[in-house]
């Protein structure tokens, strides 16, 4: 489905679901959405872990609505341009991550790997649940998988 960039950016719900327009990228919108999540992560990383977790949880809950409403309005379940789920998944990946560019790069790469690969049970959930929750949950799980690997590596190094 063709999406009008102007219509997306004018509607606050769609604008957020499309990651402030990053989901309008013609190729790899999920990657561009994750890239757009980085500046917000850098702000979040200044928070305590409790505040960080609360904000990410709130973003997840809000994302269920944003992504579901946008998918319904577009008539396409999990339109590739809906990238709010990538924001939340990346922020989960980076929870309590060590500071530094290499850790940011590692978190980005791990999240994108799990988001694209969709290992069990991510692919099953992605295919079975067709709501805003369904759009969000596969990226949440990809973020949890990436978080686990990133934290293991951080403790070993």
Specify whether the CB–CB gap between 95 and 104 falls below 8 A.
Answer: no
pLDDT category at 77 given cuts 50, 70, 90 is confident
Q: What's the token pair of residue 60?
A: 């997840």
The reported pLDDT for the residue numbered 130 is 84
Average pLDDT, the chain: 95
Specify whether the CB–CB gap between 136 and 60 falls below 8 A.
Answer: yes
Taking the C-alpha atoms of residue 27 and residue 33, their distance in angstroms, rounded to an integer, is 11
pLDDT category at 127 given cuts 50, 70, 90 is confident
Average pLDDT over residues 44-68: 98
Specify whether the CB–CB gap between 133 and 78 falls below 8 A.
Answer: no
Q: How many domains does the chain have?
A: 1
DSSP 98: P
Taking the C-alpha atoms of residue 20 and residue 22, their distance in angstroms, rounded to an integer, is 6
Reduce the DSSP state of residue 82 to 3 states and report it. coil
Q: Which domain holds residue 18?
A: 5-156
Q: What's the token pair of residue 76?
A: 């396409």
pLDDT category at 55 given cuts 50, 70, 90 is very high
Q: What's the token pair of residue 108?
A: 């980005």
């Amino acid at each position: 489905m063709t999406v009008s960039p102007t219509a997306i950016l004018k509607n606050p719900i769609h604008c957020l679901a499309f990651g402030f327009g990053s989901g309008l990228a013609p190729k790899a919108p999920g990657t561009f959405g994750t890239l757009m999540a980085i500046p917000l992560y850098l702000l979040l990383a200044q928070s305590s872990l409790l505040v960080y977790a609360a904000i990410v949880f709130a973003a997840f809950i809000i994302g269920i609505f944003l992504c579901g409403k946008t998918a319904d309005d577009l008539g396409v379940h999990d339109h590739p341009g809906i990238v709010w789920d990538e924001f939340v998944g990346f922020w989960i990946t980076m929870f309590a991550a060590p500071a530094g560019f290499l850790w940011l790069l590692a978190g980005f790469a791990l999240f994108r790997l799990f988001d694209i690969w969709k290992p069990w049970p991510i692919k099953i959930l992605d295919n079975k649940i067709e709501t805003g929750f369904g759009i969000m949950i596969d990226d949440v799980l990809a973020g949890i998988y990436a978080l686990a690997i990133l934290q293991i590596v951080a403790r070993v190094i």
